[in-house]
Chain A
Amino acid sequence: MYLNATLLAQITVFIILALFTMKFVWPPIVKALDERAARISEGLAEAERGRQSLALSARSAAETVREGKEKAAEVIAQAEKRAGQIIDKAKADALLEAEKVVAAAKEEIAQEEARMRESLRGRVADLAVAGAEKILRREVDARAHAEMLAALRLDL
């Protein structure tokens, strides 16, 4: 309980220590704290922005997928339609071709028939000539004549 000059010294030391703290200890820490707080709030805002843009891009991705599906369906439908058209055309072509072939065949048959007829006519004449020769070489026999004529008829 004794007071002396230590009191005055202590006051001085007190003020010096406080000034030191004010100058060298307090500001760096408070600055670091403020900076960190700013960084954290920045990071949070960044995260919020990121989340929003993620939702946005998810939505646009879904949109793109939907459009793609629609387009694909359209393409498929068109392809099917086109395939039908091709098939129909092919059928029509085939029919046309078949008709042509049939017509050509018919014509050929007709020509062949005509040619046959022509050659037959030739042979009939030959046979007639041969028949006449035979008739002329033999005596005329009615019965034999008749037989010959029947054979002639068969040949015709």
Chain B
Amino acid sequence: MSMSTTGLEAAAGAPNAGEYVLHHLANLNSSGHPQSVMVDFSIINYDTLFFSIALGAAGLFCMWRIARRATAGVPGRAQAALEILIEMVGNQAKAIVHNEQSRRFVAPLALTVFIWVLLMNSMDFLPVDLLPLIWQKLSGNPHAYLRVVPTADLNGTLGLSVGVLLLCFFYNIKTKGLGGWVHELFTAPFGNHPLLYIPNFVMQLIEFIAKTVSHGMRLFGNMYAGELLFLLIALMGMAFPSMSLFGGSLLWLGHLVTGTLWALFHIFIVVLQAFIFMMLTLVYIGQAHESH
């Protein structure tokens, strides 16, 4: 795919719309070309990892700097802002996870999720071609791949939701004991009867899979769709030199208007999805503490 794209681009001078979009949706990975098999654990996405780690580190570093100078006296603006955030997350955690000891980890975890997802989603606000172009110049490869939104990569979001799933297992075992949890797996939700053991267990499996997949997929879908729409808007703008002056101007104007509107609306989606992801993290871990 990458070879044919390269050939076409060399011939035509510019990629066609499909090639442009597909190029943007291909990760910079360890294999050097877009992944073709659905699941391949020998490949790793450098871009997703780089941006998620960089953004997570930057976010936590800022919060750490504020927290280090935290004073019980009159707080500065940064501290006040962080305090509002922590109060908000702390109150949600208190309402959802009814275990003081677990909250000591779960509440900071929820804060991490919120800040991290918010920052990763926010990468969508950068012009779609900015960082890929810089990377192509830096790497010296004019066809280098780069995706800058880690949450528009299924690995990024499923990584988070599977992490939450593992924590759910951990807290299930911690609060109910291994035996208690296995007992629950086979006796809930339908009841304690030998005939119902298998249906119960199947239901539980489906529940866990559905929770985790929907958790990761919801965020991924939103960000992927957002990114795709930005790409299409960018395409509209790019097409204007090929049209007549009037048609080209209309496309350019369309790019301006839709790009602005979608970016504004996306601010809402970015924050909302980060909040939803955080809340679901709390809800799922809270459910792990409740016995049926």
Interface residues of A (CB under 8 A from B): 1-11, 13-15, 17-18, 20-22, 24-33, 35-36, 39
- CB of B56 closer than 8 Å to a CB of A: yes
Segment with Cβ contacts to A, from B16-24, B157-165, B184-192, B259-267 = B157-165
The smallest C-beta distance from A31 to any residue of chain B, in angstroms, reads 7
- The answer, among B38, B73, B104, for a CB contact under 8 Å with A1, is B38
Asked if B163 and A36 make an inter-chain contact with CB atoms under 8 angstroms apart, the answer reads no
Interface residues of B (CB under 8 A from A): 27, 29, 35, 37-45, 48-49, 52-53, 56, 60, 63-64, 66-68, 70-73, 75, 79, 82-83, 86-87, 90, 104-105, 107-109, 111-113, 116, 153-156, 158-160, 162-163, 166
Asked if B158 and A3 make an inter-chain contact with CB atoms under 8 angstroms apart, the answer reads yes
The smallest C-beta distance from A2 to any residue of chain B, in angstroms, reads 4
In the complex, what residue of chain A is closest to B68 when comparing beta carbons? A28
Asked if B156 and A6 make an inter-chain contact with CB atoms under 8 angstroms apart, the answer reads yes
**Could you list some 8 contacts between A and B, CB below 8 A?**
A2-B154, A5-B43, A5-B44, A10-B158, A24-B67, A29-B66, A29-B79, A30-B90
Give bound CA distance, A18 to B60, whole Å: 9
- The answer, among B49, B60, B109, B116, for a CB contact under 8 Å with A6, is B49
Give 8 A-B pairs besides A6-B48, A10-B156, A20-B112 with Cβ atoms closer than 8 angstroms.
Answer: A6-B155, A7-B158, A10-B52, A11-B162, A18-B112, A22-B109, A26-B67, A30-B86
Asked if B160 and A10 make an inter-chain contact with CB atoms under 8 angstroms apart, the answer reads yes
Give bound CA distance, A7 to B163, whole Å: 10
* B64 partner residues in chain A, CB cutoff 8 A: 20, 24-25
- The answer, among A4, A21, A27, A39, for a CB contact under 8 Å with B72, is A39
Give bound CA distance, A36 to B83, whole Å: 12
